[in-house]
Amino acid sequence: MLDTAMLDATILGAVLASIVAAATTLLLASLGELVAERAGTLNLGVEGMMIVGAAVGYATAYSSGSLLLGTLAAVLAGAMLSLVFAVLAIWLATNQVASGLATTILGLGLAGLIGSSFVGTRVDAAPALAIPGLTDLPVIGPALFGQDAFVYASILLLIAVTWGLARTRAGLVLRAVGENHAAAHALGHPVRRIRTLAVMFGGACAGLAGAHLSLAYTPFWASDMTAGRGWIALALVVFSAWRPLWLLGGAYLFGAVSILQLHVQGFGLGIPAQLLSSLPYLATIAALVVISALKRGQGAPASLGVPFVPDR
Amino acid sequence: MPLRLERQENISTLRLAAAPLVALVVTLIVGAVMFVALGHDPVRAFTIYFIEPLGDPWTLQELVVKACPLLLIGIGLAFCYRANRWNIGAEGQYVAGAVLGSWLALATHGTEAGPWVLPAMLLLGAIGGALWGLIPAFLRVRFGSSEILTSLMLVYVAQYGLDYLVRGPWKDPQGFNFPQSVTFDDVALMPLLFGEGRLHGGVILALVTVVVATFVLGRTLIGFSIELGGSAPRAAAFAGFDEKRVTYGVFAVSGALAGLAGIVEVAGPIGQLQPTISPGYGFTAIIAAMLGRLHPVGILVSSLVLALTYIGGEAAQISMRLPFDVTRVFQGTLLIAILAADVLVRYRIRRVEGASHA
């Protein structure tokens, strides 16, 4: 009797832990995109930057044997690819939707090229870091406090972004640029430089999310391994109504949907596996509909998606 | 950096037409760098990629066959993009059309059904794609949801739906458990244009679409309302054009053309349903639409160029063991280059003296 209870608790703990892991990828990527969008730039290249991060991170970690080096390379790769987008969308004022799509297509191709020689290999996943005292708590201890560095980093990043946007001067300027770039320009703020930095922050975060995917969550390289997570991260930003704390709820909700559908598949209840696999995407659509029906676009930065060209 | 974009007045048509060419050249240069980085002789790679396919009659036919879905989908997307509606889920509409059209092929399989089957399949394919495309349109009009994200999410849903069908209810019972449907009957297959070879009836359909779309977009009130709704929504509203109807209209057209492309591909070169029926035509067609300047004739040319990257990619895969991702890099670079070239043709970069900030 006691044994089954303990077993149940262990399974529950394992499920919770995998939800946390699935949510972390989404949280990292959506935090970065939120910052880019609060500065007024819609970057649809998240999927591409994430998968480039996954590929470069894996390749570097596998070749050097260092997860830290791999992670840094992933962050750098994501930021570099976002710079391509920034040059197009911010400095040449091209259409942001098309530029973001181009970034994603290019990223998917580059990642496939980089990853092709690593198919079938494995690295040791990022180790779990225990927090003394907390990790020993039953059920939630291992789930929440027996995680790898990426999970803790995502929470620290969430706090930093929330605080930074709301409480610092840099955050205020960034928001001003996103709300009214003409006014921010008139006040002497370098609109395009700020947006470029915000987009590059987003790229770095997407790269980090990719590294989490290929170095911790599933420690190997598979082509197209992001499987639309970058797009779901974009949807989460809309879902959060551009408030960082809401990303936490959104990311964990979607993490839960994507993990629980896997477990339901495992039970074999006669529900087609494909229907369950499409649940995260259907849930994304449902979430977008609900949030847009309720808020009707409120909360979006006023200059979002509008290119800034001085005196044009 | 005190640089500024200055709008150029009176740009010659020649300059505008030069932008896609400049983009192509830039892409080739990037490609050369990529081949060198991968340790291949760029001259040999380019020969295999872009020259050899053009010298062989069989591959030339294959080129046209691959351009066909890109052209159909790309023209549909031009309707959307001219209206500033961002349908990026054509891949899903393609699958939805293929599925609905194939339903008839499978329902009439082994019966005495006459030659009406194929036209009815094509119609169903267009309807299936249009219905799938109308979902994001409805969600945008009714709830204000971003059509970009919803149309893309529906790609995954459609692909899983197809996967379910070919592994489940529509699986060929005599197929040794392979995830594929029965091979379509002759009345459900696209006829070959010359009785043999690769060219099929879909090529004619695509060319007719070019003519019709050129007329509708360029010479009718519908085309004008799409264009105006995209470039000056307020003016369009004052002129009495209904924004919602434009949204539904362009999504229905682009969905229908993508669905048509899907069923043509399944009833043509493939001949049966299987889990994968597209090497990403729905996404590549976005580039075809952009590179072709959202003009049907331009998209005709750009579809052929992009089809060449597919054919060359397959050849390079076989003879140089290059991963197929080289093709995606080419396609992504091409889109980036065309976006940049477009701006640089219309604007001039000027150094601004004494500017304190950019």
Query: Could you give the angle at the alpha carbon of A277 between the alpha carbons of A276 and A283, nearest 5°?
Result: 80
Structure tokens at A258: 């994507």
Q: Please tell me the distance from the alpha carbon of residue B227 to that of residue B248, in angstroms, as a whole number.
A: 15
For residue A172, pLDDT beyond 50 = yes
Mean pLDDT, rounded, for B202-230:
90
B172 in a domain, yes or no?
Answer: yes
Q: Please tell me the distance from the alpha carbon of residue A92 to that of residue A76, in angstroms, as a whole number.
A: 23
Statement: A14-295 belongs to CATH 1.10.3470.10: yes
Query: Could you give the angle at the alpha carbon of A96 between the alpha carbons of A92 and A98, nearest 5°?
Result: 105
Q: Please tell me the distance from the alpha carbon of residue B258 to that of residue B66, in angstroms, as a whole number.
A: 14
Mean pLDDT, rounded, for A297-307:
78
User: Which amino acid belongs to residue B120?
Assistant: A
Question: 3-state class of B150 per DSSP?
Answer: helix
For residue B358, pLDDT beyond 50 = no
B269 in a domain, yes or no?
Answer: yes
Over the stretch B101-129, which tens digit does the pLDDT of each residue have?
999 999 999 888 889 999 999 999 999 99
For residue B54, pLDDT beyond 50 = yes
pLDDT over 90 percentage in chain B? 53
Task: Please tell me the predicted confidence (pLDDT) of residue B344.
Answer: 81
Record: contact B4-A289, CB cut-off 8 A = no
Task: Please tell me the predicted confidence (pLDDT) of residue A308.
Answer: 83
Task: Please tell me the predicted confidence (pLDDT) of residue B72.
Answer: 97
- Least confident range of A132-141, A225-234, B47-56, B186-195: A132-141
Mean pLDDT, rounded, for B58-66:
91
Mean pLDDT, rounded, for A213-225:
89
Q: Which residues contact B27 (CB under 8 A, 6 or more apart)?
A: B330, B333, B334, B337
Structure tokens at B343: 């701006």
How does residue B2 score in pLDDT terms, banded at 50, 70 and 90? low
Chain B nearest-CA residue for A239: B145
Judging by DSSP bridges, how do beta strands B3-7 and B347-351 pair with one another? antiparallel
For residue B15, pLDDT beyond 60 = yes
- Least confident range of A43-57, A275-289, B344-358: B344-358
Distances (CA, A) of A84 to A87, A99, A194, A199, B336: 5, 9, 16, 10, 9
Structure tokens at A113: 């090229």
Task: Please tell me the predicted confidence (pLDDT) of residue B1.
Answer: 47
Mean pLDDT, rounded, for A95-109:
92
Mean pLDDT, rounded, for B200-217:
94
Q: Please tell me the distance from the alpha carbon of residue B63 to that of residue B308, in angstroms, as a whole number.
A: 6
Task: Please tell me the predicted confidence (pLDDT) of residue A118.
Answer: 87
Element (H, E) at B328: helix B325-346
Mean pLDDT, rounded, for B277-284:
93
Structure tokens at B320: 């140089």
A234 touches chain B (CB under 8 A): yes
Q: Return the exposure string of A48-83: e unless at least 16 CB atoms fall within 10 Å of the residue's CB, then b.
A: bbbbbbbbbbbbbbbeeeebeebbbbbbbbbbbbbe
Nearest to B280 by CA among B331, B244, B317: B331
Q: What ipTM did this prediction achieve?
A: 0.89
Q: Please tell me the distance from the alpha carbon of residue A85 to that of residue A96, in angstroms, as a whole number.
A: 8
Q: Show the DSSP H helices in A213-243 as ranges.
A: 229-239
For residue A170, pLDDT beyond 50 = yes
* Domain parsing of chain A, residue ranges: 14-295
Half-sphere exposure of B356 (CA within 13 A, CB side): 6
Mean pLDDT, rounded, for A224-240:
91
B356 vs B343, residue with greater confidence: B343
Distances (CA, A) of A218 to A36, A126, B118, B253: 27, 10, 45, 41
Mean pLDDT, rounded, for A108-121:
89
pLDDT over 90 percentage in chain A? 51
How does residue B3 score in pLDDT terms, banded at 50, 70 and 90? low
Q: Which residues contact B28 (CB under 8 A, 6 or more apart)?
A: B46
Over the stretch A238-268, which tens digit does the pLDDT of each residue have?
888 899 999 999 999 999 998 888 888 877 6
Record: contact B326-A109, CB cut-off 8 A = yes
Nearest to B141 by CA among B11, B246, B68: B246
Mean pLDDT, rounded, for A180-207:
92
For an interface test with A, give the residue of B91, B95, B157 to mutate (most A CBs within 10 A): B157
B156 touches chain A (CB under 8 A): yes
For residue A32, pLDDT beyond 90 = yes
Mean pLDDT, rounded, for A138-154:
78
pLDDT, mean over chain A: 88
Report which DSSP code applies to B268.
Answer: I
Task: Please tell me the predicted confidence (pLDDT) of residue A183.
Answer: 87
Token look-up 């390749």 returns: A59
Q: A40: left (phi > 0), else alpha (psi -120 to 50), else beta?
A: left
Q: Please tell me the distance from the alpha carbon of residue A118 to that of residue B282, in angstroms, as a whole number.
A: 28
Residues 268-307 of B with CB under 8 A from A: 283, 286-287, 290
Over the stretch B131-186, which tens digit does the pLDDT of each residue have?
999 999 999 999 989 899 999 999 999 999 999 999 989 998 888 888 999 999 99
For residue B7, pLDDT beyond 70 = no
A147 vs A31, residue with greater confidence: A31
Task: Please tell me the predicted confidence (pLDDT) of residue B325.
Answer: 87
Q: Please tell me the distance from the alpha carbon of residue B313 to that of residue B63, in angstroms, as a whole number.
A: 12
Structure tokens at B120: 């009815």
Q: A244: left (phi > 0), else alpha (psi -120 to 50), else beta?
A: alpha
pLDDT over 70 percentage in chain A? 92
Residues 253-292 of A with CB under 8 A from B: 272-275, 277-278, 281-282, 284-285, 288-289, 292
Q: Please tell me the distance from the alpha carbon of residue B242 to that of residue B251, in angstroms, as a whole number.
A: 14
A113: chain B residues, CB-CB within 8 Å: 34, 38, 323, 325-326, 329
A132 vs B141, residue with greater confidence: B141
Do you know the residue count of chain A? 312
Q: Please tell me the distance from the alpha carbon of residue B148 to that of residue A101, in angstroms, as a whole number.
A: 10
Task: Please tell me the predicted confidence (pLDDT) of residue A140.
Answer: 67
| Count of domains for chain B | 1
Task: Please tell me the predicted confidence (pLDDT) of residue B356.
Answer: 47
Chain A nearest-CA residue for B139: A289
How does residue A312 score in pLDDT terms, banded at 50, 70 and 90? very low
Q: Please tell me the distance from the alpha carbon of residue A105 to that of residue B279, in angstroms, as a whole number.
A: 13
How does residue B9 score in pLDDT terms, banded at 50, 70 and 90? low
Mean pLDDT, rounded, for A5-34:
86
For an interface test with B, give the residue of A94, A197, A262, A274 to mutate (most B CBs within 10 A): A274
- Least confident range of A200-209, B16-25, B55-64: B16-25
Q: Please tell me the distance from the alpha carbon of residue B3 to that of residue B52, in angstroms, as a whole number.
A: 43
List, as own/partner pairs, every contact residues B180-183 make where C-beta atoms lie below 8 angstroms and the sequence separation is at least 24, other chains included: B180/B272, B180/B273, B180/B274, B180/B275, B181/B102, B181/B106, B181/B272, B181/B273, B181/B274, B182/B106, B182/B109, B182/B272, B183/B271, B183/B272
Q: Please tell me the distance from the alpha carbon of residue A210 to that of residue A71, in angstroms, as a whole number.
A: 9
A310 touches chain B (CB under 8 A): yes
Phi/psi for A148 (5° steps) reads: -80, 175
How does residue B198 score in pLDDT terms, banded at 50, 70 and 90? confident
Helix axes A191-212, A46-64, angle to 10 degrees: 50
Task: Please tell me the predicted confidence (pLDDT) of residue B220.
Answer: 87
Question: 3-state class of B351 per DSSP?
Answer: strand
For residue B83, pLDDT beyond 70 = yes
Distances (CA, A) of B124 to B69, B189, B194: 17, 14, 26
Q: Please tell me the distance from the alpha carbon of residue B164 to that of residue B180, in angstroms, as a whole number.
A: 11
pLDDT, mean over chain B: 89
Most confident of the ranges B27-31, B132-136, B219-223: B132-136
B343 touches chain A (CB under 8 A): yes
Burial of A281: CB neighbours in 10 Å, binned 0-12, 13-18, 19+: buried
For residue A196, pLDDT beyond 60 = yes
Q: With contact defined as beta carbons under 8 Å apart, do B321 and B39 qualify?
A: no
- By residue range, what is the domain housing residue B272? 64-278
Most confident of the ranges A298-302, B20-24, B72-76, B329-333: B72-76
Q: With contact defined as beta carbons under 8 Å apart, do A203 and A100 qualify?
A: no
Q: Which residues contact A262 (CB under 8 A, 6 or more apart)?
A: A276
